Structures are given as C-alpha cells and as structure tokens.
Chain A
Amino acid sequence: MIANLGYGALVITFIVSLYGIGASFYGVRQNKPAWVNSARNGMLLTFPLLTLSALSIIVLLITDHYEVEYVASVTSRSMPMYLKITALWGGQAGSLVFWSWLMSAFASAVTLRKWDRDREFLPWVIVVSLITLAFFISLNIFVENPFTRLWQLPSGQVIEEMFQPAGSALFFPRDGQGLNPLLRHPGMIIHPPMLYLGFVSFVIPFAFAIAALVTGRTDDRWIRLTRRWTLWAWMFLSLGLVLGGRWAYDVLGWGGYWGWDPVEIAAFMPWLTGTAFLHSVMIQEKRGMLKQWNMVLVILTYSLVIFGTFLTRSGVLSSVHAFAQSAIGPMFFAFIGITFIGSLSLLFHRWNDLKAKTEMTSMLSREALFLLNNLLFIGILVVCFWGVIFPLISELFTGQKVTVGPPFYERANGPLFAGLLLLMAIAPLSAWGHSTIKTLGRAIWKPAIVSVVAVVAVIVSGITNPYALIGFFLTALVITVTVYEYWRGAMARGKRHGENFFVALWTLVKRNRRRYGGYIIHLSMAMLAIGIIGIEIFQSETQGTLSQGESLALGAYTMTYDSLAVFDAPDGRNVARAVVSINKNGKPVGELYPRRDFFYDSQQPMTIPGVRSTIEDDFYILLVDWEEISTSNATFKVYHNPLVKWMWLGSWLFIFGTLVAAWPEKESDPVPARNRKRVSATVKA
C-alpha cells in the first residue's frame, strides 16, 4: 500500500517533469508565458511529490516492512530509529530518491525567486533542472526501484517484483540484513547528504549558464545570480569531503583519512573544477575576461557531479565505497555524454559572443595569478582523472591492466598543491591589471621574514625533512600574508575614517564579505595543509601483544593495557572494549577505550579506535585481537599522528569563512556595474 503510494508518486513526478520540459520549450518557442508558468508550477509540484515518495520509504523503513526488498537490505529490527531513517540513503535505490528530492527542493527554491529582470532565464533553468531530475527519477522507476517487493511464487521461489505476479503471495522475511555497520557512524550519516547537497546545488549554476547560452544573454548576469548558490554548493561539497575523511579516520581503522580511492576522487573532481570556477568568475566580474573558460568550468563541474554520483553509486570501480553493484552504468554514461556534448555545442555556438574585450598584460597581475590558480586546479584534475582511468587506458594499449596507487597521486599532486599554497600567499598582494616583482616584493617582504623565522624555529625544534619544511614555509606565508592583509586593510580604514582598529576591521569585513570571507577560507586551507603535512610526513606506528599491566611506547607516549570486557549491547552488537591508560612524558593523561563491535545481524565486526586528540598530535589505538575468555592479553596497533587535529579545526574555520562570504544579504545593487568597478578599484588602491 505505502509502497504503491511511494512508487506512484515517483511515476507522477516523472510524468510531471516530462510535461514541464515540454511546456517550457513550447512556451518559450511560441512566446506563450502561460505555458512557462505552467512548467514552473510543474517544477514546484515535483517537490511535494518527491517528499511523499521519500516519506513513504522512511515509513516503510521505520515500520519494519521487510517484504520491501530495499527495507530488508538496509535495515534490521535491532537498529535504532535514527539509523532506520537515515537508511534512506544507506543503499543505492534510496539514495537516488534522496538525490532527486534534494534536487527538486533546490530547483523549486530557485524558481520561487523574483525573476523580474531575468525572466528570460526562467524557462531554461526549468528545462535543465527538470531534465536532470527526470533522469534520476527514471533510474529509480526503471532500474533501481526502492519499492520492489518480495513475492513467493507457487513453486516456492521468491522473486523481486514491483507488482504482484499471478498466483504469488507477499513474502515477509523475519528480519532485514541491517545497514552495513561501517556506515553506522555520525560522520557517515551526514557525509552523503552533505556531498549530495553539494552535488545537487552545483546543478543550479549550470542551469543558469545554459540559460545564458541559449538566450544569448552572455553578460555576467548569470554569474551574479548564481554566485551564492555556487558558494553554498561548494561549502556542502567541501564538508562532504571532510566528513568522509573524518569517517575514514574514526571508523576504517587504518589511521588515515584519505586513500585516493576512485570514489573519493570522484567526489573530489567536481570540487576541483568548482573551486577553479569560484576563483575565475571573479576575473569575469572584475575584468570581463575568461567568459568562455567559466562556461567550460561550470559545464565540466556539472558533468563531474553526475559522474561522481554514478561512481559513488554504481560500484564500477573496486573501492571501499563500492557497496553496490548495479546496471545503471550505461544509462549514466549516456546521460553524461549527451549533456556534456550538448552543453559544449551550445558553448561553441556562442563562442564569439563570449570573447573578452580586454587582454591580460601583466604576468603578475591579480587576474594572471587567478588564471594560474585555475591551471593548477585543472592540473590536479587531470592527474586525478588520469589515475582513475589509467587501468582502462593501459589495458586498451598494452593489453595489460596497470593501476596506480596513492603514491602516484601524492607525487604528482604534491608540487601542484604547493603551487596553490604559494599562490594563496602571493595573489592577495597583487593588484588587478598590473603588478611587478618590485610591487609584490615590497608587499611581501615582511610576511616572508616572519615565515622564515617560523621555519627556522621548526628546524631548531629538530625537524629537517625538506618537504615538511617547504610545506611549513608556504603555510606560514599564507597565514602571515592573510593576517597582514586584514591588518593593513583595517589600519588604512581606521586612519581614513578615524575608527579604532576593531571597528575598522569589522566594517572592512562587512563591506567586502566575499573577499575577507575568502581570506578566512585561505587560512583554513593553511590549517588543513598543516594537518596533512603532519600526518603524511610524520605519522609513526607500532604494534604489540600485551598482558594486563604491560606497556607499549611510541614517541612521547606510553600505553598500558589495563583490562578488557566483552558484553552484548542492546542494539544487536557484541562489544569487546579495552581499557588502556595513557602516559605522556611519564605523566598520566587519561584512559582510552579502543573496541571491536561485532554486529550479529550482518555478522560483521567493526573496529573503533580510541583516540586522544590534541593540537599537537593524536594518539590513536586500535584493538586488534584478544585472548577469548581470560582476556589476559590483547593485541594493539598504535598510531602517532602529529598535527592532524589542525585538519578538523581548519574545517570549522572553513565553514565560518564560507558563511561570511555567502551569507545572504539584501540585494542592494543600485550602483550599475560600470560604476561599481571604479568604486572597487579605488577602494583597492
């Protein structure tokens, strides 16, 4: 009943979407606004319909309807309520519905805005959104139906069908399979929605870009309209990536956070083009350049978003993420191919309209450095893409499948990341239009001296790894330059307006939120870099089997095995939990409780580390094994991860920075763009 309701809602959404696409096309071709309006209503209708469908799945999940195949595959009776709800995105079919639901929410929100001056975009934004939506819903209807039920035929065989086959009866398994224990972690519960939010909201700038291309209104309007969308999309995507890393660190038990797994890369690639896009739109706004390039970037981002959804959801590549195997691959490839080629041909059609009127003149000007930043991001993208497809290429040309592992990505991307850090340090100091070594040198020498001093301090403290020193120098430079920029700006303003330093700083940031929010994000990236340098270069590990009371030392730390208890938890787990006391430099600093959970329903163990986390370092203990009955001894694997906490702290700062840059303000845009440019130029000078 509920399953039929949910499925019916999906089918109707699909039909409404197709109608909306058609009505919008017709309305704009025949110049009949009533049809476009009707398409808009259709767009708005998809949201309640998909909400109904998603709610149906949730109801089925929480009321233990195991005759529904999806419910049986992702939940079990022993799972707590919140996990049953979040199982909506625990499997492939459900997560596709969830994707569509988010997509529809965002697209509806966009169509509800005031369109006044931009009414010509509306029909095309609707068309692009609905085509995307219809594609995802068709996956659900035709291939990955979350409402398929189990039917027992007279022969006794049980099959999966949406509708009752003749002579069969519904089959009720006693219990479900349960959600993969690896996914039962707060990070994993919010990681997919964040990633999906990021993916989905990147569709909006793409839709506007296509609208601009179709209508021929190729000025900066589409970029200004979608600026905030892009920032929000970017923030969600970034958070999704960070949360995924956090999950890996907390759950996967290898003391790492990022494994250059094809699925991770799949989510990382749209982030790269998205980040490049965020930067290069500023050149278009300020200097009217790179219009074609921005179109390329937004089209690439869209295609990579769809590709990312596909990779994370299809299991084509062997990876820890491949929880699913499915036949949706060909459909995805067809869709990506058609939309990519379609968008590119539209772009070539408008190519000449998008020519820049000015040219870059100075290699060190702000816009040239932005361009360089774009090249580096695309460089990293190419490295990643090459790594993912290399097995296919090598097989094609040599008949031998050759893969590349994490060392490939680290080696090839390392210098490019370093280049980005360097740019983050230099670009804020360079001027639009024209900069020379001299002007830059004059601006940077003070921060550079501070950074050199910082690196000397690091060397004195005993660190001599050259890569780490280069990394620390660059991060120090980013931090000092950025802080210096705040200081300089606030001082200048304070002098001009007679304000005290803090008032001046506050107003400065408030007036240029995108710029100073962006600088906060730069700072957070520097913190991220510190964490990454710490764990990548200075991680150390040891292992050992200890009797109760025995100790194991690693770095400044000593861990002592005190006791271990094995017990059943009410939610269907058998827990083995060790108590370990930690000493640092001979002083006790507390206890840790590494444990191993065994899930009865899925017959799978899960290792949860005990972690002591400080700004200086993380001490990370895994319980590997233990003596069954006596628990007289147990085996531990121990990691020392210096500085890794900076990564998570940096992530918080990152959110803050994005909020500063993206928080909505009243659209007060009374100054025409031409004047504004002059105003901002004088402010900068």
Chain B
Amino acid sequence: MQESTSMQTGSSNRMKFILGGALIVAAVIYLIASSTQASAQYFLTIDEVVAKGDEVLDRDLRISGAVVGESIEYERETLTLSFLVAHVAGDNEELDAEGGLAEALHAAVIDPSRSRLQVVYEGPMPDLLQHEAQAIMTGRLGADGVFYADELLLKCPTKYEEAVPEQAEGL
C-alpha cells in the first residue's frame, strides 16, 4: 500500500520534471530557431554576388575576397574607406588546389579577368588592410552595385607562417 503511493508520487514527480525539462528544451530550440532566422547571413563569393546581382539586394550577406591594394582609398573627413575585392574560391579544397590561401589571394589579385566588387566601409582604417589581404565582410549590396560593409575582418596569411621561403628566395 505504502509502496504503491510512493510509486505514484514518484511517477507524477518524474512527469513534473520531464515536463519542466521539455519546456526548457523547447525554449532553447525556439531561441535558436528564431535567432538563426533573424540573423542569418548568406555567405557568398564575389562571383556569386556579381552573378546574382539584384536577387540579393538588401539581404544580409557575408562575402570574402582578396583586397586589391592600389584601389584602397580613404576619405579621412568621413572615415569612409573604399576598395576593390577580387574573387577567391569559397571553400578550402579549391583554395588548396590553388596552392593555399596566400597563393590563391595572389592569383586573384593579378588576374584581371576575375570578377571584382567595390566595397565601401565606414570606420577607422583597419590595421591589417593591405594588398592581397583576405577581407571577410558583412553587409548589403546596394542598388548601385557597391557592397556596403558593416563589418570588416582581415587576414594576411602571407605575413606569417608561410612567408619564409618566399622571402628567403628574394634575398
């Protein structure tokens, strides 16, 4: 008798805990799903941006490209930075096929047939912005075909790790 009541409270208790746990799991799933939707950014290569054009207007985009050094212009009064980026492959396998990121960036910048995109960014001149750096930008493509970046991340793979033999050859 006693045992059966304790069993009963035991199972109703367990139900309570399972329900509570399920509620939290549901809340977390909801948070993830809604936030993913609200902040998704399409990761595109320059080729894809240029090809899609109007299709991706006013969508949050994240693009990556090679910085063309001589195109860098900086308007000090307004802190407006503009430069061209050239298409580089989007996935690692293609990059490896081109001999690594540094080589791929170099190839992208010297190849005039690659598609290029004008980028405008407002803010301080980033320390790492230079010729053949990899720029990863988030922002939107304007109707004028210019990419307006809100965020600008830069990587210079040539600088470290890989550069030694090249530099040595130059000596």
Name A residues whose Cβ lies closer than 8 Å to a Cβ of B: 69, 72-74, 91-92, 150, 157-160, 171, 173-174, 177, 180-182, 253, 316, 318-320, 322-325, 359-361, 363, 368, 372, 375-376, 379, 382-383, 386, 390-391, 400-405, 407-409, 411-413, 415-416, 543, 545, 602-607, 622, 624-625, 635, 637
Contacts and interface: CB of A to CB of B under 8 A. Distances in A.
A173 B167 contact: yes
A182 B127 contact: yes
Contacts, number: 163
B161 A622 contact: no
Nearest to A171: B168
A532 to B, nearest CB: 18
A403 B165 contact: no
Interface residues of B, number: 59
Given A150-B164, A411-B35, A415-B31, 5 more contacts: A159-B165, A386-B32, A400-B42, A403-B41, A404-B41
Nearest to A382: B28
Contact of A91 (B128, B155, B160, B165): B160
Contact of B159 (A177, A368, A379, A415): A177
Contacts of B128: 604
Contacts of B74: 625
Contacts of A402: 40-43
Contacts of A405: 39, 41, 62, 138, 151
B161 A325 contact: yes
Contacts of B14: 359
A158 B13 contact: no
Contacts of A604: 127-128, 156, 159
Contacts of A181: 127
A624 B125 contact: yes
A325 B162 contact: yes
B62 A158 contact: no
Contact of B76 (A73, A415, A635): A635
Contacts of A173: 164, 167-168, 171
A619 B9 CA distance: 59
Contact of A383 (B13, B32, B163): B32
B35 A412 contact: yes
Contacts of B32: 382-383, 386, 412
Interface of B: 9-10, 13-14, 16-17, 20-21, 24-25, 27-28, 31-32, 34-36, 38-44, 62, 64, 74, 76-77, 79, 90, 92, 100-101, 123-125, 127-128, 130, 134, 136, 138, 151, 153, 155-157, 159-165, 167-169, 171
B165 A158 contact: yes
Nearest to B60: A405
Contacts of B62: 403, 405
Given A91-B161, A408-B38, A602-B159, A379 B127 contact: no
A400 to B, nearest CB: 6
Given A363-B20, A407-B39, A408-B36, A383 B28 contact: yes
25 contacts: A69-B164, A73-B164, A158-B165, A158-B168, A158-B169, A173-B167, A182-B127, A318-B136, A323-B160, A323-B161, A372-B20, A383-B28, A390-B36, A402-B40, A403-B41, A403-B43, A404-B40, A405-B41, A405-B62, A407-B39, A412-B32, A604-B127, A604-B159, A625-B76, A625-B125
Contacts of B160: 73-74, 91, 177, 180, 323-324
A174 B42 CA distance: 45
A73 B161 contact: yes
Nearest to B124: A624
B23 to A, nearest CB: 10
A363 B159 contact: no
Among A319, A324, A402, residue most surrounded by chain B Cβ atoms (within 10 Å)? A402
Contact of A411 (B38, B42, B159): B38
A316 B96 CA distance: 12
Given A375-B21, A408-B36, A412-B32, A324 B161 contact: yes
A73 B158 CA distance: 11
A637 B161 contact: no
B79 A177 contact: no
A173 B163 CA distance: 12
Contacts of A69: 164
A482 B128 CA distance: 46
B165 A150 contact: yes
A99 B109 CA distance: 38
Contacts of A74: 160
Contacts of B76: 545, 624-625, 635
B36 to A, nearest CB: 6
A637 B123 contact: yes
Contacts of B92: 316
Per CB-CB distance, the 5 closest pairs between chain A and chain B, nearest first, are A401-B43, A412-B35, A408-B39, A379-B28, A411-B35
Contacts of B127: 181-182, 253, 604-607
Contacts of A159: 165
Nearest to B40: A402
Contacts of A91: 160-161
